């Protein structure tokens, strides 16, 4: 029974290791896309922010933008 559990654990660990390798490859691909965008004149920092905003639900995004404006007004930023 212990051998089966040991084999299962080894397989799970190897699977995570493979996924981590794939994740690293994908992260490198994303980095390359941002570098390409920068080379063509786009601002990668702003692109990252847009991507974060697009992940939000519309209601959550509106709430965040409203709070941001409220805080900025309170601090006299605009």
Distance of CA 1 to the CA centre of its chain: 41
With bands split at pLDDT 50, 70 and 90, how would you rate the model's confidence at 1?
low
Cut 0.85: pTM above it: no
- Say whether 4 sits in a helix, a strand or coil: helix
Which residues have CB under 8 Å from 48's CB, separation 6+? 34
Rounded distance between C-alpha atoms, residue 14 and residue 20, angstroms: 10
All structural domains of the chain with their residue ranges: 2-74
Closest CA to 47 of 38, 39, 56: 38
| Structure confidence by residue, pLDDT tens digits, 34-68 | 999 999 999 999 999 999 999 999 999 999 999 99
């Amino acid at each position: 029974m212990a051998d089966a559990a040991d084999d299962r654990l080894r397989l799970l660990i190897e699977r995570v290791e493979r996924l981590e390798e794939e994740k690293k490859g994908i992260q490198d691909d994303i980095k390359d896309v941002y570098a390409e965008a920068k080379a063509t004149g786009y601002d990668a920092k702003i692109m990252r922010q847009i991507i974060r905003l697009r992940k939000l639900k519309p209601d959550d995004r509106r709430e965040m933008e409203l709070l941001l404006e409220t805080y900025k007004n309170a601090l006299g930023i605009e």
